[in-house]
Structure 1
Amino acid sequence: MTDPQNPAASEPPQPASQPAAPPPPDDVTASPAPAPGGYPAAPPSYPAAPPAYGAAPGAAYGAPAEGPVPGKTLGIVAFILSFFVQLVALILGIIALVQSRKAGVKNGWALAAIIISAVLIVVGIIVTIVVLTAVFGGLAAACSELGPGVWELENGGTITCN
């Protein structure tokens, strides 16, 4: 008898000892045969490969991913130049610091370059003022003592006083 509500009941049951084998796939890229229930079988899971010999360990949990820090190289260049060419180093340090702040990272090299170059610029200005005052002050004192005219010094130099 055929039940119209349940057509599977009218088919004869298959023996449980011999499940039906799926047909072989035509090509290698065929999807896995569907599991009982109509869903494809899950791909096999493999254990994670161990890290290669000499490989660096991964970042700790919650640690930021290492990547290029914007302005870091420019900050290092500015730091090195801050001992020799202070004005250029000050400008490069400010540019590097602005780039780093836009990216939301700290740049100690750029900050150090700005501080060192600013301090050395101020020291250089003070030394220049002191030296010029000593030279021109000494020249004025010599002219007031010698009077107007061109005078030869003992070391071979000349002084022109008005």
Structure 2
Amino acid sequence: MTDPNTPDQSGAQVPPVPPVPPAAPEPPAYGAPQPAAPAYQPPAAPAYGAPAAPAYGAPAYGAPPAAKTNVLAIVSLVSAFFISLVAIITGHIALNQIKKTGEQGRGLAIAGLVLGYIGLVVGLIVIVVWIILIAAAASSGYYTTY
């Protein structure tokens, strides 16, 4: 008996040459009828108790964490309805933080800024009108004495 690990001295056991793979089929000529596509076959259901594979596009290990909204952007929008100066200050700080961290809430911060500036301008107009009315009433000469 011969050892299969020793080389053959006679040269009689030469491995056969592998066959040549078939050539790729030629594409059909322009205008020629195309072969019909195979019908869609849904994947087979997994056996009972076997874990199901995630659907296409679904994450394999749970959903990604939701993007965090900047808290100062929310504070800016809410405070714009009560204290305009706080809305302006927190809105600018929130925009700066959003630019650095990439958090959500840029629209909230801008809305808080716009409403804050509008509230500040309206508040200043009201103060000026009150001062004018008080000055006009004081200079009218109508006094009550007891």
- Give the structure-2-normalised TM-score: 0.53
Distance 2:77 2:118 in 1: 13
**Per the alignment, do residues 58 and 73 of structure 1 end up closer, same or farther by CA in structure 2, a change over 3 Å counting?**
farther
The match for 1:41 is none
Q: Any unmatched runs of 5+ in structure 2?
A: 8-49
- Structure 1: 4+ residue segments shifted above 4 A: none
Tell me, yes or no, if the aligned pair for 2:67 and 2:103 is still in contact at 8 Å.
no
Q: Which has the higher contact order (CA 8 A, sep 6+)?
A: 2
**Per the alignment, do residues 77 and 58 of structure 1 end up closer, same or farther by CA in structure 2, a change over 3 Å counting?**
farther
The match for 2:52 is 49
Is the radius of gyration larger for structure 1 or structure 2?
1
Structure with more of its chain in strand, by fraction: 1
Q: Any unmatched runs of 5+ in structure 1?
A: 11-46, 52-56
Distance 1:68 1:8 in 2: 66
Residue 123 in 1 paired to residue 122 in 2? yes
Matched position secondary structure for 1:152: coil
Distance 1:84 1:122 in 2: 14
Q: How many residue pairs get matched?
A: 97
Residue 138 in 1 paired to residue 137 in 2? yes
The match for 2:110 is 111
Identity over aligned pairs, percent: 32
Matched position secondary structure for 1:49: coil
RMSD: 3.4
- Give the structure-1-normalised TM-score: 0.48
**Per the alignment, do residues 58 and 118 of structure 1 end up closer, same or farther by CA in structure 2, a change over 3 Å counting?**
farther
